[in-house]
C-alpha cells in the first residue's frame, strides 16, 4: 500500500472525485465492545417509541402540535425554559464527554456509525463478501451475478432503511398515529408519507453509499471537536515515541521503532486515514486501527497498544514523558483522564447548573398553572345578602393553563371553615374541563359577608382541583392565596 497523499483527504483523488473505501473488517477487544454497545443502542432506538412512561410515549417530539414528552416529563412549546435546560444540558454533556474522552460519541454511539457498522456494512459483507471481494466486484464489468448481488444488497438496505425511518417517524408522530398511517393509503397522509419516503431515501443514500463522507465533510460536530478537546483528552492515538522510526525509515534495526509499516491500520480505517500522522479531523475514534495494530503486535510478540487510547501528551511525547520513560504499555495514556482541568470543569459546572435548573422547574411544575390578578374594575362591590346582611364581592381574572397531555376537569372551592362563614365562589363561563395543553381565561368572583374582613380573614386560600379523567389517581389540588378587600366599616 502506498503512502497516503498529504495535500488532500484520503477519499478524494487529484480531481476531487471520490475514492470509494473498502475497509477491512477487524476484530479486537474494543471492536467487540463497540459491536455489543451498537446492538444495544439499535434495540433502544427501535423500542423507545413503544415504551410508555406515566401514560406517555417515552420520547415524543410532536412538533406540529408543539408537545414533547421526554422520559415521563411533558412539555409544551410554552415550556421553552424546560426545553432549554434539557437540550442545553445534553449539548453541554456532549462537550464534557468530548473534553475527557475525545470523539467517543462518534465512534461508539453516533447513529451514523452504529447503523453503518452494525447493519449496512454487515449486510454488505454477507452479500458481497470481504473487502477485497467487494472491491473486485465493483471493478468488474456488469454481469448477471453482479446485478443480482447489487439488487440483493440494495433490497436489504431498503428494508432496513424503511424500519429505521418508520421508527424515526414514530418519535415525531407517536406510535398510535404511525400505526394508523401504515394501515391507510399514503394519499390520506401525504405530508407524513413524503417525510417518511424522504427519510428512507436519505438513509439509503447516507448509510448505503455516502458513509464516511458525512463524517469528514458534513458533520458539524467533527468541525468543532478541536475547540472542545485539549492535550489531555483521551483520543485514539499512535504512540509516536514507541513506533518511530518505523520500518523502512530507520537507519538500523537497533534504533527502529515498533511500527513495521504494514499499513494494516490504514486498511481497516473507515475514513481512510493514517492515524500515525497524529489526531485528525477525519478520525471518528472507531478503534478499528487499535484492533488491527494489536493483532500485528501480538503476532510479532510485542506489547500491545502501539495505537491505543491515550492523551496527545503521552503518545506524541512531552519532555517529561520522555524523561520518565512512558512507553509502550496499553493504557499508559490514561493519566489525567479525570476532568481536573479548566475545560471539563467548566462544562461540568454548566451541566450541574442545567440539571439543578431542570429539577427545580420540574418540582415547581403543577398540572394546571394558574395566574390570578384582581380585575381592574371596582376593587369590590357591596350587595345585600339573602339574610339581609351586607356582602362584598371581589372580582379576579384567572388564566388557567393545562400543562399535561390529558384533559383536566376543574373544580373550585374554599375550606369548609370558610364555607361555614359564608364565603362562596362563582366562576364565569364555568370551566368543567380544560383540554390538554390549552389555556383558558375566566372570571372569579369571591362573595363573602362584610363581617369577614373585621374578623381578620382578609387572606384566604382557594382550592383548584384538577382531575385528569384518564388517571383519577393523579388528582392535584392547587392552593391559591387571595387577598380580599372591602369597606372598612
Ligand atoms: S498497524 Fe501498527 S505496525 Fe502496522 S503500520 Fe499501523 S501502526 Fe504500524
Ligand atoms: S484512525 Fe483509527 S480510530 Fe480513527 S477512524 Fe481510522 S480506524 Fe477509526
Q: Is the CB of 262 under 6 A from ligand 1?
A: yes
Cβ contact 410:464 at 8 Å: yes
Q: What is the CATH number of the domain that holds 467?
A: 2.60.40
Q: Which of 292, 417, 317 is nearest to 326 (CA)?
A: 317
How many domains does the chain contain in total? 1
| Residue 471, domain member (yes or no) | yes
C-alpha 268 – ligand 1 centre gap (Å): 11
Q: Is the CB of 104 under 6 A from ligand 2?
A: no
Q: Is the CB of 110 under 6 A from ligand 2?
A: no
| Residue 422, domain member (yes or no) | yes
- Quick one: which atom of ligand 1 is closest to the CA of 289? 1
pLDDT per residue, tens digit, the chain (489 aa), is 677 777 778 888 888 888 899 999 998 899 999 999 999 999 999 999 999 887 778 898 888 777 888 887 777 777 777 778 888 999 999 989 998 888 899 999 999 999 999 999 999 999 999 999 999 999 999 999 999 999 999 999 999 999 999 999 899 888 888 888 888 888 887 887 888 899 999 999 999 999 999 998 898 888 777 778 888 888 899 998 899 888 877 667 777 889 999 999 999 999 999 999 988 888 999 999 999 999 999 999 999 999 999 887 777 654 444 444 443 334 444 444 555 778 888 889 999 999 998 888 888 888 888 889 998 878 888 888 777 788 899 999 998 888 887 888 888 899 888 888 889 998 886 667 888 877 888 899 999 988 888 776 688 899 988 888 666 667 888 899 998 888 866
| Residue 382, domain member (yes or no) | yes
Q: Which of 84, 124, 62 is nearest to 353 (CA)?
A: 84
| Residue 290, domain member (yes or no) | no
| Residue 468, domain member (yes or no) | yes
Q: Which of 354, 351, 320, 357 is nearest to 336 (CA)?
A: 320
Outline where DSSP puts E strands in 385-471. 390-402, 408-414, 424-427, 433-434, 439-449, 459-468
Phi, psi angle pair for 426, to nearest 5° = -130, 125
Q: Which domain holds residue 389?
A: 368-483
| Residue 261, domain member (yes or no) | no
| Residue 225, domain member (yes or no) | no
Measured CA distances, 173 to 177, 299, 307, 357 (Å): 6, 53, 45, 29
| Residue 434, domain member (yes or no) | yes
Atom 4, ligand 2: residue with shortest CA distance: 283
Cβ contact 73:82 at 8 Å: yes
Amino acid at each position: 500500500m502506498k503512502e497516503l497523499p498529504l495535500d488532500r483527504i484520503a477519499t478524494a483523488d487529484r480531481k476531487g472525485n471520490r475514492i470509494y473505501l473498502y475497509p477491512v473488517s477487524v476484530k479486537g477487544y474494543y471492536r467487540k465492545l463497540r459491536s455489543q454497545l451498537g446492538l444495544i443502542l439499535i434495540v433502544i432506538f427501535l423500542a423507545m417509541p413503544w415504551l410508555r412512561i406515566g401514560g406517555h410515549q417515552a420520547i415524543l417530539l410532536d412538533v406540529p402540535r408543539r408537545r414533547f414528552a421526554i422520559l415521563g416529563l411533558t412539555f409544551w412549546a410554552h415550556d421553552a425554559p424546560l426545553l432549554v435546560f434539557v437540550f442545553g444540558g445534553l449539548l453541554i454533556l456532549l462537550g464534557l464527554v468530548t473534553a475527557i474522552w475525545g470523539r467517543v460519541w462518534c465512534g461508539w454511539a453516533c447513529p451514523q456509525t452504529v447503523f453503518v457498522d452494525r447493519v449496512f456494512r454487515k449486510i454488505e459483507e454477507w452479500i458481497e463478501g470481504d473487502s477485497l471481494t467487494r472491491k473486485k466486484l465493483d471493478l468488474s464489468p456488469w454481469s448477471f451475478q453482479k446485478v443480482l448481488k447489487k439488487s440483493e444488497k440494495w433490497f436489504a438496505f431498503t428494508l432496513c432503511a424503511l424500519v429505521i425511518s418508520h421508527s424515526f417517524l414514530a418519535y415525531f408522530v407517536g406510535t398510535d398515529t404511525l400505526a394508523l398511517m401504515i394501515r391507510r393509503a399514503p394519499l390520506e397522509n401525504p405530508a407524513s408519507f413524503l417525510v417518511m419516503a424522504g427519510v428512507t431515501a436519505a438513509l439509503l443514500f447516507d448509510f448505503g453509499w455516502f458513509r464516511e463522507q458525512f463524517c469528514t465533510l458534513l458533520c458539524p460536530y467533527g468541525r468543532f471537536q478541536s475547540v472542545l478537546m485539549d492535550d489531555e483528552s483521551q483520543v485514539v492515538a499512535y504512540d509516536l515515541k514507541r513506533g518511530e522510526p518505523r520500518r523502512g525509515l530507520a537507519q538500523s534495526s537497533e534504533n527502529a521503532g515498533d511500527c513495521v509499516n504494514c499499513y494494516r491500520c490504514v486498511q481497516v480505517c473507515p475514513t481512510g486515514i493514517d492515524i500515525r500522522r497524529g489526531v485528525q479531523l477525519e478520525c471518528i475514534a472507531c478503534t478499528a486501527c487499535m484492533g488491527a495494530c494489536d493483532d500485528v503486535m501480538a503476532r510479532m510478540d510485542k506489547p500491545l497498544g502501539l495505537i491505543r487510547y491515550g492523551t496527545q501528551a503521552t503518545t506524541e511525547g512531552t519532555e517529561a514523558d520522555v524523561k520518565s520513560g512512558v512507553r509502550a504499555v496499553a493504557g499508559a495514556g490514561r493519566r489525567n483522564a479525570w476532568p481536573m482541568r479548566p475545560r471539563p470543569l467548566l462544562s461540568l459546572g454548566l451541566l450541574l447548573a442545567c440539571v439543578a435548573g431542570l429539577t427545580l422547574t420540574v418540582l415547581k411544575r403543577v398540572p394546571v398553572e394558574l395566574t390570578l390578578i384582581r380585575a381592574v374594575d371596582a376593587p369590590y362591590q357591596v350587595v345585600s345578602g339573602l339574610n339581609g346582611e351586607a356582602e362584598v364581592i371581589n372580582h379576579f381574572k384567572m388564566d388557567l393553563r393545562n400543562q399535561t397531555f390529558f384533559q383536566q376537569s376543574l373544580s373550585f372551592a374554599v375550606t369548609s371553615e370558610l364555607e361555614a362563614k359564608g364565603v362562596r365562589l362563582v366562576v364565569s363561563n364555568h370551566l368543567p374541563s380544560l383540554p390538554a395543553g390549552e389555556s383558558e381565561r375566566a372570571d372569579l368572583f369571591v362573595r363573602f359577608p362584610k363581617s369577614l374582613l373585621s374578623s381578620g380573614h382578609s387572606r384566604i386560600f382557594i382550592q383548584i382541583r384538577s382531575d385528569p379523567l384518564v388517571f383519577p389517581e393523579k388528582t392535584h389540588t392547587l392552593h391559591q392565596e387571595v387577598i380580599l378587600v372591602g369597606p372598612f366599616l
